[in-house]
């Protein structure tokens, strides 16, 4: 096994543990609960989950997807979030090797997972993630690697400015809210971590996938696209992830076509 593969396996395991923590945040942050105390509990019977029943991904299958105490069904979303987080960590290590930017991008991808599921559940993007996230992204850009500090700062300004303008004009024209300010702050965070160069791919991918899923929903349900119950944050997160792994190639391919 090559060094790279060993690193990726270690990164997956570490990412899965971070995914376990992501589950705690997704569950507790919107309720304003402490994220440290008490330790993990069954959402049904509040029984404390002991460490050996709390191993990311594995415990879910060992327990047959049920709480050891009350046998209540555990949502498959828990191991899914853990696996997703592990997969993203491994992919970041594979893509960037070992350098300061790897830590930044792994944290960034992890924050996007937390934001995605909180937004899906509650239609909010917590400021306690997006605002410190933006500051952290700016701070990381000072470390040699990527993006450069100026790209990161312009990314914040243009990302927030662009979405805010859309938000503002949509409300003026349609007289109703399309996106929330949470999306504006999320795009600022994306700009901070990836630099302004990431914004075209992020916006393109998110609006394309968002429209496709929204129209698909309307066709299947026979309802107006406006009633589409999924918020925009997860699509922005997807767009950022696509740029993180494929952005440079996509931009080169597009410029090559010109
Ligand atoms: Zn239980």
| Closest listed residue to residue 140, CA positions, set 88, 194, 201, 196 | 194
Q: Which SS3 state, helix, strand or coil, does residue 151 take?
A: helix
**Block residue for tokens 């767009």:** 239
Angle at Cα 172 formed by Cα 166 and Cα 175, nearest 5°? 115
Q: What is the pTM of this model?
A: 0.92
Kindly give the distance from the C-alpha atom of residue 86 to the centroid of ligand 1, in angstroms, as a whole number.
26
For residue 174, what pLDDT is reported? 73
- Rounded to whole angstroms, the Cα distance separating 97 from 101 reads 9
Q: What pLDDT tens digit does each residue of the chain (258 aa) get?
A: 677 788 889 999 999 999 999 999 999 999 888 877 788 888 889 899 998 999 999 999 999 999 999 999 999 999 999 999 999 999 999 988 888 889 999 999 999 999 999 999 999 999 999 999 999 999 999 988 778 999 999 999 999 998 888 888 877 787 766 668 899 999 999 999 999 999 999 999 999 999 999 888 888 888 877 777 788 999 999 999 999 999 878 888 888 876
Q: 105: Cβ–Cβ under 8 A, 6 or more apart, which residues?
A: 92, 95, 96, 193, 244
Ligand 1 is an ion; its neighbours by CB within 5 Å are 42, 44-45, 47, 67, 69-70, 72
Ligand 1 midpoint to CA 72 (Å): 6
Q: What is the DSSP string of 53-85?
A: G--TTHHHHHTTTB-TTT-PBPPTHHHHHHHHH
Give the sign of the dihedral formed by CA 57, CA 60, CA 65, CA 71.
Answer: negative
Neighbour count for residue 52 (Cβ, 10 Å): 10
97 CA distance to ligand 1 centroid (A)? 41
Please tell me the distance between residue 42's alpha carbon and the centre of ligand 1 in angstroms: 5
């Amino acid at each position: 096994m090559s060094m790279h593969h060993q690193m990726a396996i270690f990164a997956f395991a570490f990412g899965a543990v971070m995914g376990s923590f992501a589950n705690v945040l997704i569950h507790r942050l919107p309720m304003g609960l402490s994220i440290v105390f008490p330790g993990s509990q069954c959402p049904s019977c509040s029984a404390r989950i002991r460490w050996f029943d709390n191993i990311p991904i594995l415990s879910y299958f060992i327990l047959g997807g049920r709480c050891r105490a009350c046998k209540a069904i555990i949502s498959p979303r828990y191991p899914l979030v853990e696996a997703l987080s592990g997969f993203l960590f491994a992919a970041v290590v594979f893509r960037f090797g070992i350098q300061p930017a790897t830590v930044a991008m792994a944290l960034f991808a992890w924050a996007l997972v937390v934001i995605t599921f909180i937004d899906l559940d509650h239609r909010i993007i917590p400021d306690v993630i997006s605002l410190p996230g933006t500051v952290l992204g700016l701070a990381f850009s000072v470390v040699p690697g990527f993006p450069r500090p100026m790209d990161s700062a312009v990314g914040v300004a243009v990302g927030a400015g662009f979405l805010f303008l859309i938000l503002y004009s949509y409300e003026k024209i349609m007289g109703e809210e399309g996106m929330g300010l949470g999306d504006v702050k999320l795009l600022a965070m994306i700009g901070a971590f990836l630099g302004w160069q990431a914004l075209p791919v992020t916006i393109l991918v998110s609006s394309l996938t968002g429209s496709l899923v929204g129209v698909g929903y309307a066709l299947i349900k026979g309802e107006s696209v406006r009633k589409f119950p999924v918020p925009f944050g997860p699509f922005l997160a997807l767009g950022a992830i696509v740029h993180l792994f494929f952005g440079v190639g996509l931009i080169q391919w597009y410029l090559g076509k010109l």
